[in-house]
């Protein structure tokens, strides 16, 4: 995996940043489909496995599954544009489709329709393998009757921009969908369903990974209504009517429909942070894990982590503060470019000011933070001075949700391209006595 910090490939990268980059790369690789999908012949109790899948890791998961089954699997998966097969990869008879993310498009609708058709063709004795990862909610769009794709996009966008967390967003999505919230599995039954998940949700609730197409849903339409009311999201007449009707209610845990199904998380934030911790220990850092499932507002978390780093900075030694999860952001300027990791880093940098012995990295493990071409970025002691030299103000950028330009022009963006996994955000602060410019 190639990481770069700046268009100039000759730019010197300070050793501590190399340590941070190596830890991030180790974390991402540990959660790759190639590492985490390990099936034996005993795991496959059917001659012709049928595969469906959705998410940013879907193509890589299809390749790994095809290899594990010696090319016997049939089916299809859908991933984000640009996250498909790499040259030389083979998914066998598993079709790899691409569709819109973070906003679903007509390709997302077509993919959902095909999957529902395949699921509906299964019979008693068949087994459906569902390969799911983060991003699948947008990639599979099947609005319930009366609701349009535009209706769904309007509600989801409002929730995202209002600071709703992923559980809240997916609760609403599930009650507007004919495929999410266990409905895909319900269509596939009486066939058995086996779900393999690369989890991008704090706490690894399978019902929330890609809105749980094969997992019974513990939330209700009343929950969904309460969420859209809380965030004051405008609703079309069709959405208002649907959420007020039992038609939108999802299959629930305990239903006999799911009695023969199985589901497991094959990679998660814990997977990635465990690997990073080992890498950092080898580099001589004492690691403190702050949590694998942090979901606070990005700006608040950045300020809190800066305080922890400042408390450690004066005591000597080499320390690493490591965390995962998914922060939230309230977007006041939808036209601005940024992302939750850059908002976290901006808040962190402002609170650290020019502390000489702290560097930080924050990035999304899928390679995309917000709506830019970056995975995240870096903070170094000169982060604020670089901006001032360019006539930029980080306070202003943060207030306007326009952090991308600041980090880009200061040569502090981290770009990876699509990683084809997704175990959420990775945050690392390194504190020692070295000086970084």
Residue 227 is assigned to a structural domain of this protein: no
Confidence of residue 354 (pLDDT cuts 50, 70, 90): confident
* Strand, coil or helix: 239: helix
For residue 1, pLDDT over 60 is answered with: no
pLDDT at 48: 74
For residue 435, pLDDT over 60 is answered with: no
Q: Are 59 and 20 found together in one domain? A: no
Rounded Cα distance, 372 and 147, in Å: 30
Cβ atoms within 10 Å, residue 293: 16
Q: Which of 27-31, 367-371, 402-406, 425-429 has the lowest mean pLDDT?
A: 367-371
Q: Are 259 and 314 found together in one domain? A: no
Residue 226 is assigned to a structural domain of this protein: no
Q: Are 281 and 426 found together in one domain? A: yes
Q: Are 307 and 414 found together in one domain? A: yes
Confidence of residue 235 (pLDDT cuts 50, 70, 90): very high
Q: Which domain holds residue 374?
A: 15-29+270-431
What's the rounded mean pLDDT across residues 3-21? 63
Q: Are 257 and 294 found together in one domain? A: no
Confidence of residue 33 (pLDDT cuts 50, 70, 90): very high
pLDDT at 437: 46
* Helix (H), strand (E) at residue 238: helix 237-243
Residue 317 is assigned to a structural domain of this protein: yes
Q: Are 303 and 345 found together in one domain? A: yes
What's the rounded mean pLDDT across residues 200-215? 95
For 368-403, the pLDDT digits (tens) are 997 789 999 999 999 999 999 999 999 999 999 999
CATH number at residue 425: 3.40.1480.10
Residue 343 is assigned to a structural domain of this protein: yes
Packing angle of the helix pair 149-161, 221-230 (nearest 10 deg): 60
What's the rounded mean pLDDT across residues 60-67? 96
Residue 158 is assigned to a structural domain of this protein: no
Q: Are 79 and 129 found together in one domain? A: yes
Note the pTM of the prediction, 2 decimals.
Answer: 0.92
Residue 244 is assigned to a structural domain of this protein: no
Q: Rounded to 10 degrees, what is the CA torsion of 28, 30, 33, 34?
A: 120
Nearest to 321 by CA among 354, 276, 282: 276
The two tokens of residue 327 are 């922060």
* Strand, coil or helix: 161: helix
Phi-psi map region of 23: left, alpha, beta (phi>0 left; psi -120 to 50 alpha)? alpha
48 vs 34, residue with greater confidence: 34
CATH number at residue 42: 3.40.50.10180
Cβ atoms within 10 Å, residue 92: 18
- Look at the chain and count its residues: 437
Strand ranges inside 44-152, DSSP E: 50-54, 74-80, 93-99, 127-133
Residue position matching structure tokens 């749980």: 212
Residue 237 neighbours by CB under 8 Å, 6+ apart: none
Phi-psi map region of 22: left, alpha, beta (phi>0 left; psi -120 to 50 alpha)? alpha
Nearest to 122 by CA among 184, 215, 64: 184
Task: Report how many domains make up the chain.
Answer: 2
Q: Are 275 and 196 found together in one domain? A: no
Q: Are 274 and 263 found together in one domain? A: no
Tell me, rounded to whole angstroms, the distance of Cα 119 from its chain centroid: 26
Maximum Cα interatomic distance, the chain, rounded to a whole number of Å? 68
Residue 98, strand partner residues: 79
Residue 148 neighbours by CB under 8 Å, 6+ apart: 236, 238
Nearest to 347 by CA among 317, 406, 306, 386: 306
Residue 97 is assigned to a structural domain of this protein: yes
Residue 39 is assigned to a structural domain of this protein: yes
């Amino acid at each position: 995996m190639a990481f770069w910090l700046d268009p100039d490939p000759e730019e010197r990268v300070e050793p501590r940043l190399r340590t941070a980059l190596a830890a991030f790369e180790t974390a991402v690789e540990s959660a790759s489909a190639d590492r985490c999908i390990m099936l034996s012949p005993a795991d496959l109790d059917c001659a012709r496995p049928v595969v469906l899948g959705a998410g940013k890791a879907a193509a890589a998961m299809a390749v790994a599954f095809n290899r594990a089954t010696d090319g016997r699997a049939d089916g299809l998966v859908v991933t984000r544009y640009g996250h498909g097969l790499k040259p030389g990869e083979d998914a066998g008879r598993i079709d790899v489709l691409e569709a819109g993310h973070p906003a679903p498009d007509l390709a997302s609708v077509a993919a959902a329709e095909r999957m529902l058709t395949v699921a509906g063709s299964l019979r008693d004795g068949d087994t459906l393998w569902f390969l799911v990862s983060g991003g699948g909610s947008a990639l599979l769009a099947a609005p319930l009757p009366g609701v349009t794709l535009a209706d769904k996009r309007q509600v989801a966008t409002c929730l995202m921009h209002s600071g709703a967390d992923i559980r809240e967003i997916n609760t609403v999505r599930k009650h507007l969908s004919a495929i999410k919230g266990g409905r895909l599995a319900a269509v596939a039954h009486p066939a058995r369903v086996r779900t393999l998940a690369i989890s991008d949700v704090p706490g690894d609730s399978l019902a929330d990974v890609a809105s749980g197409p094969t997992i019974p849903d513990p939330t209700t339409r009343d929950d969904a209504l309460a969420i859209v009311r809380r965030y004051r999201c405008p609703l079309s007449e069709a959405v208002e009517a649907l959420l007020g009707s039992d038609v939108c209610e999802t299959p629930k845990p305990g239903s006999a429909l799911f009695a023969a199904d199985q589901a497991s998380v094959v990679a998660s934030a814990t997977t990635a942070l465990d690997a990073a911790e080992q890498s950092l220990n080898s580099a001589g850092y004492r690691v403190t894990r702050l949590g694998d499932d942090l979901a606070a507002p990005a700006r608040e978390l950045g300020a809190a982590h800066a305080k922890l780093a400042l408390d450690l900075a004066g005591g000597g030694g080499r320390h690493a503060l490591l965390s995962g999860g998914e922060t939230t952001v309230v977007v006041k300027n939808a036209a601005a470019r940024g992302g939750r990791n850059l908002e976290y880093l901006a808040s962190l940098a402002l609170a650290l000011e020019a502390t000489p012995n702290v560097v930080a990295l924050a990035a999304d493990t899928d390679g995309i933070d917000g709506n830019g071409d970056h995975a995240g970025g870096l903070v170094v002691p000169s982060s604020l001075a670089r901006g001032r030299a360019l006539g930029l103000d980080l306070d202003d950028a943060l207030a306007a949700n326009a952090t991308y330009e600041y980090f880009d022009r200061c040569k502090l963006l981290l770009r990876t391209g699509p990683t084809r996994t997704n175990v959420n955000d990775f945050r690392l602060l390194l504190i020692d006595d070295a000086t970084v410019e």
